[in-house]
Amino acid sequence: MNYRNFLSLCILVLITIFLFSINSAEENSAEENAREFLSEEEYPSDMDTLEEFIQSYYLLLESNEYLKQFKFLHLDKNQFRGDKKTLKPIFEKLLELRSGLRQNVTIYQIGDSHIQSGYFPGTARTALQKYFGNSGRGLVFPLRLAGTNQPDDYKITANGSCSRINSERGISGFTIKASDGICFNIATNNFFRGDNSFNKLSLLTSLPGMKIKIDAREDITEETAFKKGNYYCSSISWKKRVPEMKITLSGEPSNLYGIFLENEQPGLLYHSCGINGAGFYNLLEQQTLFEQIGLLQPDLIIISLGTNDAQGSFRNEVFTQNLHNFMNKLKQFNPDTPVLFTLPPDSNKRGKHNNDLDKVEKIIIDYAQENQCAWWNLSEVTGGNGSVQKLRSQQMSATDLLHYTPKGYMLQGYLFYQAFIQSYKSFSEQTSG
């Protein structure tokens, strides 16, 4: 082998190692990330202690004085913008829910790795359900079977054949091929101090679809199945709520897009879909994703994207077009659903504040103002440019100054809850007055 060929081979190996390290970093579990961010005293080695830590931290967030100690937080700016008209439909439904005139209100959140870890939506879900009522955990998926990280408030294992389909993203952000006879064990816990027990389970699959079988249960109350468009939804209900269920799927091998857990109680359903590395730019062609959001018919769509759009080579006109194309596709299947943007949190690029995030923020706000969408400026609330460094000093951001720790994401989720309730109460007072 001559020197030039040897050099080329070395470069190829180095590139492969680099790409593998990136993918590995993306797919770290929330537990592994937590271990990186927290000291041994805060997060001992056993998983139960992590759950205890998360629950105690949630209680801390609920206290009136805790957040006030962080002077860099702009709590006076923790509010939704453009929300008075935009969010009127969902606030009216929430009023009906609290008055006993409605059974459910549904929220669907889509985002990137900030959302996939589960700490932001898990905290927001628990707090909002505590206020409006808990209708169940909502959307879950065997993410670890798909080769990626999954929230810690549920676990799904399988006995049987399944494989990830990289070419298609469904409502959970991922898709797997499930074979006839595959058995899933779905177990929930109260990781975020919320009750995730369920007595209704639904599957969204491709046609011709798969049916759910539950062994050794005599209290089944209802079984339904229907086709809608290119998809098949099957559901089964039983009397007593449980935290864990083993199911067997039967039928032709099908694409599995999502599993929904409900408890058939009045309240809020808060579905979250997080995809590591996602941005407006790489979700544009995911027809299945948009179609299935439409099937869900949510009462509010929360969009938490933009970080990854600002990480690479950034051009205003390209991002603007990607945002418009994404929203046009979303509106095609959800024409009347109100949209709330959560602007990206502060992060660094090449060792300093990512100025492209400021451009992303402005373009999203301009779009929201022109198209009757609401927005929540997360970066502004948590301290603005450079806040990721300040949050790092409080063990709330990661060493890469791009991602956040469980503490940091939980802070974001609780701040979101506070802004949501403030906006809702303002609407309620105006309505009653």
DSSP structure string for 228-265: ETTEEEEEEEEEEEESEEEEEEESS-EEEEEEEEE---
Is 186:201 a contact under the CB 8 Å cutoff?
yes
Among candidates 378, 313, 323, which has minimal Cα distance to 347? 378
At 52 the pLDDT is 85
d(CA 235, CA 215): 15
- What residues does 163 pair with on adjacent strands? 177
Is 375:80 a contact under the CB 8 Å cutoff?
yes
Is 368:421 a contact under the CB 8 Å cutoff?
no
Numbered ranges of CATH 2.60.120 in the chain: 139-264
How many residues are given for the chain?
A: 433
Q: Indicate the pTM of the whole model.
A: 0.90
d(CA 288, CA 175): 10
At 216 the pLDDT is 67
DSSP structure string for 347-414: -EETTEE-HHHHHHHHHHHHHHHHTT-EEE-HHHHTTSTTHHHHHHTTT-B-TTSSSB-HHHHHHHHH
At 433 the pLDDT is 63
Q: How confident is the prediction along the chain (433 residues), in pLDDT tens digits per residue?
A: 554 454 444 444 343 333 333 333 333 433 444 433 443 333 444 445 678 888 899 999 998 799 999 999 999 999 999 988 999 999 999 999 999 999 999 999 999 999 999 999 999 999 999 999 999 999 999 999 999 999 999 999 999 888 999 999 999 999 999 999 999 999 999 888 889 999 999 999 999 889 999 876 778 999 999 998 899 999 999 999 999 999 999 999 999 999 999 999 999 999 999 999 999 999 999 999 999 999 999 999 999 999 999 998 999 999 999 999 999 999 999 999 999 999 999 999 999 999 999 999 999 999 999 999 999 999 999 999 999 999 999 999 999 999 999 999 999 999 999 999 999 999 999 887 6
CATH 1.10.10 fits 139-264, yes or no: no
Among candidates 345, 414, 375, 325, which has minimal Cα distance to 123? 414
Among candidates 376, 352, 346, which has minimal Cα distance to 364? 376
Nearest-5° Cα angle at 292, 259 to 206? 65
Residues 6+ apart with CB under 8 A from 163: 176, 177
At 191 the pLDDT is 86
End-to-end Cα, the chain, rounded Å:
84
CATH level 2 (architecture), domain 29-135+266-433: 3-Layer(aba) Sandwich (3.40)
Numbered ranges of CATH 3.40.50.1110 in the chain: 29-135+266-433
